[in-house]
Amino acid sequence: MLPTLRQLQYLKLLAHHQSFMAASEAAHVSQPALSSGIAELEKILGARLVDRARGKVILTKVGEETLKRAEDILARAEDLVEAAQAANHPLSGRFRLGVIPTVAPYLLPKALVSLRKEFPQLKLFLREDQTARLITALKSGSLDAAIIALPYDLGGLDHAFICRDAILAATPCDHPLARGTSISPDDLKSEELILLEDGHCLRDHALGACQWNGGSNVDMTGPQTLAGGFAATSLNTLVQMVGSGLGVSLLPAMAVEAGLAGGSEVSIRPLSSDKAFRDIVVIWRAGSSRAAEARLLAKTLQA
Per-residue confidence at 209, pLDDT binned at 50, 70, 90? confident
Pick the CATH number of 89-303 from 2.70.180.20, 3.30.930.10, 3.40.50.300, 3.40.190.290: 3.40.190.290
260-289 per-residue burial string, b: 16 or more CB within 10 A, e: under 16: bbeebbbbbbebebeebbbbbbbbbbeebb
Residue-level pLDDT at 32 = 93
Percent of the chain with pLDDT over 90: 54
How are beta strands 266-270 and 56-59 bridged, if at all? unpaired
The pTM is what?
0.70
Q: Are 38 and 104 in contact (CB under 8 A)?
A: no
Per-residue confidence at 216, pLDDT binned at 50, 70, 90? very low
Crossing angle of the two packed helices 31-45 and 5-17, in degrees rounded to 10: 110
Alpha-carbon span 253 to 90, nearest angstrom: 31
Cα 173 to chain centroid distance, Å, stands at 33
Is it true that 5-84 and 89-303 share their CATH fold?
no
What pLDDT, in 10s, does the model give residues 15-62?
Answer: 988 889 999 999 999 999 999 999 999 999 999 999 877 667 889 999
| Residues counted in the chain | 303
What is the residue-averaged pLDDT of the chain? 86
DSSP state of 245: T
Residue-level pLDDT at 55 = 67
Q: Domain locations in the chain?
A: 5-84, 89-303
Per-residue confidence at 278, pLDDT binned at 50, 70, 90? very high
| pLDDT higher than 50, residue 302 | yes
Residue-level pLDDT at 199 = 78
Q: Which CATH architecture has domain 5-84?
A: Orthogonal Bundle (1.10)
| pLDDT higher than 50, residue 291 | yes
